Amino acid sequence: MTLTILFAAGPARWPTYEPHLAAALAEAGIAARLVTEAAPEEVDYIVYAPGGTVQDFTPYTRCKAVLNLWAGVERIVGNPTLTQPLCRMVDPALTAGMVEWVTGHVLRHHLGMDRHIVNPDHVWAPEPPPLAAERPVAMLGLGELGRACAAMLVALGFPVRGWSRSPRVVDGIACHHGDAGLQAALTGAEIVVTLLPATPDTENLLDARRLGWLAPGAAIINPGRGTLIDDAALLAALDAGRIGHATLDVFRVEPLPADHPYWAHPRVTVTPHVAAETRPASASRMVAENIRRGEAGEPFLHRVDRDRGY
């Protein structure tokens, strides 16, 4: 049987993904017709990305799953027409990229690299940083990405406190959950990394009150979602010196508007949503594996829980 797989992730991505998807499906032994257009009643699987070509999933009565190319699903999970199983992307290459980005920026703040990289007055100030063991890090989010980043930081010697909305047990990490656990994770933290999904429960998680729990001069590193931080509260804390620096990769509006105060703030680093990117070759193998599972009657990998939103 030849499956019909609709690539609905946008025409700009099609030339890049088509050869990788074809190769991954062939490697998995799946006979498939990869298309960008098809009669809805003929489609077996939809490969999707936000802003793609399908917004109404109602006509796709034969579709067995919608396979998202992004780790985040907040822009699709609430679609009332989507009744098919929805799977988010967990790509080993995406995880590796996130670990590298987070580790680099944690070390940048830990070592105080900025003052040496930009030193126009040639100030000679031999002030060595503390050891990693003396720099507590809070990791907000203990999903696939959060656990991988936390493990790398632990391997470097940082004491990592993890927080998630539901209980987790992760080797080498002091795990907390719930409202009380959030205060325990944040209190006295000198670096905070946010790797949570965007849901109603996580919006403005880092507000003025919770930012006040951090160590004076703490650094915020956000490669998760722009809605996790109360922007006004963060700017006020930066202006007051309570937060030493914020490195932000994600924003409520992207691209970040040219007049946004983050661009000009001396204690903010803006990166253009580059912390982690789906790689077509490895992502295609994940898509092919979920299609293989669907055809074999096995559970899909990384199926989204609609009630939790991820």
62 among known catalytic residues: no
d(CA 111, CA 224) in angstroms, rounded, equals 23
Q: Which helix (H) or strand (E) holds 20?
A: helix 14-27
Contacts of 225 (CB under 8 A, 6+ apart): 72, 74, 194, 196, 197, 198, 202, 250
Q: Which helix (H) or strand (E) holds 106?
A: helix 92-111
d(CA 154, CA 286) in angstroms, rounded, equals 28
Name the active-site residue from 168, 265, 273, 279. Answer: 273
Tell me whether residue 62 is exposed, middle or buried, using C-beta atoms within 10 angstroms of its C-beta: 0 to 12, 13 to 18, 19 or more: middle
273 among known catalytic residues: yes
Residue 158: both structure tokens together: 């940082």
**Could you identify the residue written with the tokens 């299609």?**
291
> Does residue 255 have a cis bond before it (omega within 30 degrees)?
yes
Alpha-carbon Rg for the chain, nearest whole angstrom, is 21
Name the active-site residue from 20, 147, 225, 302. Answer: 225
Q: Which helix (H) or strand (E) holds 238?
A: helix 231-240
Q: Which helix (H) or strand (E) holds 245?
A: strand 243-248
Residues tagged active-site: 225, 273
